[in-house]
Structures are given as structure tokens and as C-alpha cells.
């Protein structure tokens, strides 16, 4: 791999692949791709990075589609808290 798996430009492609797997109803594969993308994104970009938050959101979607509601809710609450933390207080 020329760029390497930990290159941030790869994360968008990995997220898109997960969404494509989702559309094919390959939810377990999509979940695994989302988990891998999230792990790498958190490591390279940090948990509060907007691209990492997209990865958390995508994973929550895959969990929801598999009926893993509690874990999906937890992921979405994490995303919400991180987004609220990163928004300037003057922005409504």
C-alpha cells in the first residue's frame, strides 16, 4: 500500500467501503470496516477530529441496522458530546 493504512486520506475510502457494504446488506462486514476505520482515525487524528466523529456515526448506523441499539445509542451519545464540546459557545 503506497500511502499506508494509517494515512488519513485512506479513512474516507474505508468509510465509503463500509457504506457500500451496508447497501449490500453485509452488515457484519460493514461493522468491522467501521470499527477498523474508527480505531485508525482515533489513533492518527484523535477522538475529537470531525473525520473521527463521522466514523463513530457510521459505526453507530451499522450497529443500529443489526439491532444493537444500546451500543448504537452509546456511540451516538459519544458523538453528540464530542461535537458539543468542539462547538464554540457563541455558535447556536
Q: How confident is the model over 2-52, as pLDDT tens digits? A: 556 677 778 889 999 999 999 999 999 999 999 999 999 999 999 999 999
Select the CATH number that applies to the domain covering 9-84 from these four: 3.40.50.12780, 1.25.40.10, 3.40.50.2300, 3.40.50.300: 1.25.40.10
Task: Look at residues 44, 42, 15, 50 and name the one whose alpha carbon lies nearest to residue 30.
Answer: 15
Report pTM: 0.83
Question: Domain residues of the chain, as ranges?
Answer: 9-84
pLDDT of residue 91: 60
The pLDDT of residue 83 is above 60 = yes
pLDDT band, very low/low/confident/very high, at 71 (cuts 50, 70, 90): very high
Q: 50 burial class (0-12, 13-18, 19+ CB within 10 angstroms)?
A: exposed
Task: Answer whether 34's CB lies under 8 Å from 51's CB.
Answer: no
Q: Quick one: cell of 8?
A: 488519513
Query: 52 — phi, psi (to 5°)?
Result: -65, -40
pLDDT of residue 86: 74
Residue count of the chain? 92
Q: Quick one: cell of 42?
A: 482515533
Amino acid at each position: 500500500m503506497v500511502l499506508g493504512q494509517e494515512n488519513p486520506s485512506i479513512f474516507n475510502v474505508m468509510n465509503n467501503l463500509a457504506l457500500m457494504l451496508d447497501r449490500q446488506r453485509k452488515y457484519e462486514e460493514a461493522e468491522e470496516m467501521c470499527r477498523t476505520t474508527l480505531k485508525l482515525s482515533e489513533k492518527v487524528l484523535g477522538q475529537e477530529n470531525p473525520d473521527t466523529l463521522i466514523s463513530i456515526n457510521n459505526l453507530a448506523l451499522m450497529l443500529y441496522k443489526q439491532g444493537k441499539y444500546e451500543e448504537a445509542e452509546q456511540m451516538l451519545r459519544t458523538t453528540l458530546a464530542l461535537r458539543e464540546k468542539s462547538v464554540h459557545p457563541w455558535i447556536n
